[in-house]
A and B are shown apart, each in its own frame.
Chain A
C-alpha cells in the first residue's frame, strides 16, 4: 500500500509529467489570449476617452473664446504659460486650436485646448483623472478575470490530461512488465476512436505477441536440440561406464566427459542467448556461500570476506559464475588465486599473465582461449559467467592488475527486491 501512495505522490510531484506540461500549455494559451484582448480593450478604451476629452476641451474652448471675444476675459484657471512653447507657437502661427494631453503628473492628467485669438493665447484644461482611473480599474478587472479563468482552466486542463496520461502510464507499465519477463502482459488500452495512444498500445501489444512467439519458438528449439543431443549422450555415458576397465576405456570415458561438458555448456549458452532464463532469487549470505562454492570446485583459493554481506540473488547461477571464474583463473592464470568478498562485490584475481587485450576490449568470445595450447578450456566458461550474471542482474567486469594478473569483478544486487522468488513458471506465492 505504502509504495503505491509514494508512487502516486511521486507521480503528482514529477514536474516533467505530461499532466503539468499540458496544464502549463493551457495556462500559456489562456494568458496569451487574455493579454491580447486586454491590450486591445485597453487601447481602444483609452483612445475613446482621449477623443472624448478632446471634444470636451474643444467645446469648453469655444465657450472661452466666445467669452473673450465678447468681454475680453481670459480664463483664470488655465494659464497658457504652462503649455509647452512649441505648441503655443504652433497655435499662434496656425490660428487653429490645438489639444495637448498633459501627463506630467501621472495621477492628475489634464487635457488642454489652446487657441490664439488676436495674439492672445486662450487655454482651457479638462480634468482627465476620472477617465484615467476608470481605465486603470478596467485593466485591473481584466487581470482579475484572466486570473479567475486561469484558476479554473488550468486544473481542468490538468484533469483532462489525466485521462490520456493514465492510458499512457498503463502502456508504459505494460512495456515494463514485458521487459521484466512477463510475456503475457498486455496493455489493452484500445477504445477512444483510434487516437495515437490506442496506436501505441496496439503496437506494444503486438510487439509482446511477436516477442512471446519468438521466445517460445526459441525455447522449444533449444529444448529440442537439448533432447536430441542428450539422449545419445546418455547412452554413451552409461555404455562407457559399462566397459571393462582398461587404458582404452579411460580414454573413452575422458572424452565422454569432455563431450558432456561441452554439450552442457553449449546448451547453457543457447538457453542464455534465447533469453528464456529467469533468476530464482533468495537472500544469500555471501561469505559462507562463496566459501562453499569454492570448496566444491576443489581448487586452491585464498578467500577474504569483509563484513557479513547478504545479496538477493539466484544461488545456483551465482555458484556457476564463481566456479567458472575460479576454474578460468586456475586454467589460464597462476596461483595464488584470491577471492575478495566486499559488500556485494566478489573479486576473483589470479597472478598469471592477465586477460588478453582482445578480451578486455571486446569481452570474452566463444572458443577463444587466449594463447593456443595453454590449458584445455574451450573458451565458454567466461561467456557462461557473463550470461548468468546478466540473468541475475549482476555486473561482471574484467580487468588486469597493474602488477600482473587477471581481475574479474562481480557486482551483485544487495537490496531486497520486492519480487523475490520470481520465476516464469511458478505461481508467485510458492
Chain B
C-alpha cells in the first residue's frame, strides 16, 4: 500500500462512481483519485447515484453508507440486481450493523472513514484485480495445469479459464470477490483455509483485515452455490467439500 506508484497510470482511465453526501469528502476524494489517474463521477445522494450508475458504465463503485433518500445499502442492493461491478462501501459509523448489512447487500469490501487516499486506492486496485482476474504473481492457476479443464465439485462446475460457474447446469452469477473466493477454495479443495489466508489472497489485505468480510462473503457464496459446499471448521476457517 504505497503512494509511490502514481506514475503507473492505467492506459484507459479507470472510471469510479463516487456516491457521497458530504460535499467536502466528495470534492476532495474526487480530486485525490483524479491525481491517481482515475476518472471520477460523483453523486450527492442515492437516487442520483443510481441514475448515474444506469446511464454509464463504471469500473468501481464507491458508496457511502449514510445517504439521504436511498441509503448506501439500498443502493448497493439495487445495483446488485443487475450488475456484478465491484462495490466498495465507506462507512463513517464503522459499527457491526453498518459493516454487516453493507456486505450482506453485496458489497465486496468496506472501509471505515477517515481513510487515506493511499488506502482507498489500494482497495480500489485490489477490487479491480479481482474483477479483471489477471492472475497475480503469487497466484498461478495450479489445478487447471493442462488448460481448460473444468473443476467439478458435486453439482458445481467451475471453468477457471472462462471464469464461469454452473450449478446443476444452471449458470451462477457471482460478484468478482465471490468468484475469486470460490477459485481460492477450488485451488485448495478439502484443505482448511483460515480467515487470515483468505483475507490475504482474496482481499489483498495486510494484517488488519476484518474477518467478517470473509464470513459474510462465504455466506453469500453459500446462498448461490448451495449451503453445504463450503464447510465451516470451527475456530479455524473454511474448506471446500470435494
Contact = CB atoms under 8 A, between A and B. Distances in A.
A421 interface: yes
B235 A237 contact: no
A235 B22 contact: yes
A425 B114 CA distance: 24
Interface string B53-81: 00000000000001000000000000000
B114 A234 contact: yes
B148 interface: no
Interface string B39-64: 00000000000000000000000000
A5 interface: no
Contacts of A371: none
A171 B28 CA distance: 55
A426 to B, nearest CB: 6
A420 interface: yes
Nearest to A235: B24
Interface residues of B, number: 39
A64 to B, nearest CB: 99
Contacts of A416: 235
Nearest to B219: A430
A230 B207 contact: no
Interface stretch (B9-17, B126-134, B167-175, B208-216): B208-216
Contacts of B100: 425-426
B92 A423 contact: no
Contacts of B215: 426, 430
A83 interface: no
Nearest to A278: B96
Contact of B92 (A231, A271, A312, A319): A231
Contacts, number: 107
Contact of B236 (A224, A267, A276, A282): A282
B25 A226 contact: no
Contacts of B32: 238, 241-242
Interface string A271-284: 10000100011110
Contacts of A292: 207
Interface string A289-331: 0001000100000000000000010011001000000000000
Given A242-B28, A260-B114, A234 B92 contact: yes
Contacts of B212: 280, 423, 425-426
A420 B235 contact: yes
B29 A238 contact: yes
A232 interface: yes
Nearest to A260: B114
B144 interface: no
Contact of A237 (B95, B116, B218): B116
A239 B235 contact: no
Nearest to A310: B235
Contacts of A276: 95
Contacts of B218: 430
Nearest to A427: B219
A241 B96 contact: no
B226 interface: no
Interface string A410-430: 000000100011011111011
A238 B207 contact: no
B234 A231 contact: no
Interface string A29-71: 0000000000000000000000000000000000000000000
A116 interface: no
Contacts of A426: 100, 212, 215-216
Given A283-B235, A421-B234, A230 B96 contact: no
Interface in B191-242: 194-196, 207-208, 210-212, 215-216, 218-219, 232, 234-236
Contacts of A296: 207
A223 interface: yes
B94 interface: yes
Given A227-B66, A316-B208, A421-B234, A234 B95 contact: no
A222 B195 contact: no
Contact of B113 (A223, A234, A280, A315): A234
Interface string A216-230: 000100111011001
Given A260-B114, A421-B235, A426-B216, 7 more contacts: A234-B114, A238-B31, A242-B28, A316-B208, A416-B235, A424-B96, A430-B216
Interface of B: 22, 24-25, 28-29, 31-32, 35, 66, 92-98, 100, 112-117, 194-196, 207-208, 210-212, 215-216, 218-219, 232, 234-236
